[in-house]
Structure 1
Amino acid sequence: MDNMGSPMIAEPEAKGVSRRDFIKVCSVAAAAVGLPAWAGEKMAENVGKKKPSVVWLHFQECTGCTESLLRTSHPDVGSLILDLVSVDYHETLFAAAGKQIEAALDDAKKAGGYVLVVEGAIPKKEDGIYCIVGGKKATDSLVECAEKAAAIICIGSCSSWGGVPSAAPNPTEAVGAPEILKAKGINKPVITLPGCPANPYNLLGTVLQFATFGTLPALDEKGRPKFAYARVIHEDCPRRPHFDAGRFAQVFGDEGHRNGWCLYKLGCKGPQTHANCSLLDFCEVPGAWPVGIGHPCVGCTEQGIVFNKSIYENLPIEKPTAPMAYPAIHPEHGVVGSSPVAVGLGGAVIGALVGAGYVASKKIAESDKGEKKE
């Protein structure tokens, strides 16, 4: 214990990471899944006692999710994640190879009870020539590891629903891990974290919540945590005020584009893309996501959009006004005052935003008409 009565986090401090930074990462991970600040301290304390075991499988993918995790900084979250969990099998990170690494996987499966993280799509084609690891087909390796797991997390769009490998013509018949697990009758909790890549904090928060409290975040019908995928990019986009005002960049590099105007007309898929990219910075770098660097959202979390629609194709805005135009009055996480004044202000703001959404959609139509005349 330190002089404030708090448990010491000895291992990270021995590696040059302060207790404050260690708890900060746990707190951010807790906040990412919608837990209060005290949950971060509880996670840090729990990790000090016993790290959750993780088995990480690679299949058809580019390893981008792993690389994104390892390249976080301020502090070095990549190193901290390796301190927060016990990675008992990971082909990219292990120094061992061949029989040694396969022995490590066998030991982990014997112990069981681990969190299984799956990165990459699974080829369904049964000719035995695609994605053979350790002499086993991807489907067999996935099922064997899933049977011994306590929970399964599919990180990235490839493992969630097929991603890049499933793009037409899909010669390997690649699909996401959930489809294979369902077909094989694996009755385990399966969480999907689509993204190309997925945000490391979405993974870390989910793993630590399960390890600390024995619970999983609330999931939607696709197995995605609602804390990260309940809202679409368009709702929380920093360029959203320009959409409401009817200000749109027409071409890359024009005055509107340089001044941060809405990118919808350049093909932004934000109105149909469920993700928290605009709320949770990648690598703790503000603006480190497509819209933040001036490029339209490409819809990387959505199976029917990315790798299926033209990158600069305009998609319909399904909900140009309520409820997309404003946050819920009673959000799932957090509390809003219920006084008459608060309710009145909320109604005024909502009314203004709904009106703005209508005006914006009208201006899009008027702008399109003007362009056609020209």
Structure 2
Amino acid sequence: MASHSDKEKTLGDVLRSHGVSRRSFMKYCATTASMMAMSPAMIPMIAEALENAKKPSVIWLSFQECTGCTESLTRAGASTVENLIFDSISLDYHHTLQAASGHRAEEAKEEAMHENHGKYLLVVDGSIPMDNPGYSTIAGISNYDMLMEAAEGAAAIIAVGTCATYGGLPKASPNPTGAVSVSDLIKDKPIINVPGCPPIPVVITGVLTHFLTFGALPELDDLGRPKAFYGQSIHDRCYRRPFYDKGLFAETFDDEGAKAGWCLYKLGCRGPTTYNACATTKWNNGTSFPIESGHPCLGCSEPEFWDGGGFYKALSIPTADVGETVLYTAAGAAAAGVALGALNRATKGSANKAHEKVTLEDLEK
């Protein structure tokens, strides 16, 4: 938990102590204004507000999740202004990052909630199980009880990741834990949803920056997501869009179309129905994003994406039976590998088949 003296420091103090130049700081403010669709005239206001902002108390609760959201943020790369924005908050409780453990950790949370009642930001990642409290507890407290207690004194709630915003993987059919999202339970607090599996780091820091600057949440869409980052589909921002318009599609992951960078829609890309900033903000300090790396968008920032049908178009069709095993005509290496594995397992142990190996050529005949 941050010391009293640390909490009195402004963000400007923190940035200067880390050697961040005025030029770098103003560049970050300009980038933030651009990303959040603000007028350039707002840049000086953003800079002044951030420079004088005190460190807000943040309580971060992790429930049914994989820690991917925290990993996404903490592995954002070399030290940047974005990282320092995150570093400058008073992160008073976080299961993964806190140094304290056991009773001391819970005492720190209770102390932060009491001292900053009505002012702290509550960040939640992971879904909340409702069928049985024992599915996920912390310090003997059910996720539901911990969420409701922490939400009561929060100024606002940021649901980070698809599990917290929509229920995510835990909620996928058959949803054995009865998982629900934060917004399914909290109705009397402002909630901002930052979906993604995991979400883009700069989106999280962008939301924090907006709150530090204006003391309020950014404009949201009908799913509670910041419009600045989720206002357009990945398809509309995708550099492969011209190929879509021309009707040029990759048919398999390794055909000539794929090598030429054609549209991945026929390979299951969900870019047209997915709203996120991946195509412009990108990942790994702006290095790339899945489609640029040759993989279709999975639609992870949309509700029910785990139950929205298979991620990939079938690459094979059944052609013949061998005993109880179905052979497939492979249209790609992935499908061939599945068929090879199944057939080799089926013939393993048979005296007259033990010495044989099924080959890709056999499947293609």
Q: TM (normalized to structure 1)?
A: 0.75
What's the counterpart of residue 326 of structure 2?
none
Q: CA deviation at 1:66?
A: 1.2
Whole-Å Cα distance in 1 between the matches of residues 173 and 62 of structure 2?
22
1:180 to 185, 188, 191: 185
Alignment check: 8 A CA contact 1:154 1:191 kept: yes
Alignment check: 8 A CA contact 1:59 1:120 kept: yes
2:59 to 55, 62, 77: 55
Output one character per residue of 1:10-66: Cα deviation in whole Å (capped at 9) or x when no partner.
Answer: 433333444433443444334332234454554454344312221111011111111
Q: CA deviation at 1:283?
A: 3.2
1:165 to 159, 162, 170: 170
1:46 to 46, 49, 53: 49
Whole-Å Cα distance in 2 between the matches of residues 273 and 27 of structure 1?
27
What's the counterpart of residue 192 of structure 1?
193
Alignment check: 8 A CA contact 1:30 1:209 kept: no
Q: Which runs of 5+ in 2 are unaligned?
A: 1-9, 315-365
What's the counterpart of residue 93 of structure 1?
97
Asked if residue 29 in structure 1 is aligned to residue 35 in structure 2, the reply is no
2:312 counterpart letter in structure 1: Y
RMSD, matched Cα:
2.2
1:20 counterpart letter in structure 2: R
Asked if residue 239 in structure 1 is aligned to residue 214 in structure 2, the reply is no
Residues 1-374 of structure 1: pairs in structure 2 closer than 5 A: 9-37=12-40, 39=42, 41-49=44-52, 50-73=54-77, 75-76=79-80, 79-110=83-114, 111-112=116-117, 113-125=119-131, 127-182=132-187, 187-287=188-288, 289-313=289-313
Change (3 A) 1:230 1:79: closer
Q: CA deviation at 1:200?
A: 1.8
What's the counterpart of residue 364 of structure 1?
none
Q: CA deviation at 1:176?
A: 0.9
Q: CA deviation at 1:67?
A: 0.9
2:278 counterpart letter in structure 1: C
1:130 counterpart letter in structure 2: Y
3-state DSSP of counterpart to 2:222: coil
Whole-Å Cα distance in 2 between the matches of residues 229 and 16 of structure 1?
33
What's the counterpart of residue 341 of structure 2?
none
**Equivalent pairs: percent with the same residue?**
45
Alignment check: 8 A CA contact 1:54 1:89 kept: yes
2:295 counterpart letter in structure 1: H
Q: CA deviation at 1:8?
A: 9.7
3-state DSSP of counterpart to 1:87: strand
3-state DSSP of counterpart to 1:301: coil
Whole-Å Cα distance in 2 between the matches of residues 91 and 191 of structure 1?
21
Q: TM (normalized to structure 2)?
A: 0.77
Bigger Rg over Cα: 2
1:212 counterpart letter in structure 2: T
Whole-Å Cα distance in 2 between the matches of residues 144 and 26 of structure 1?
35
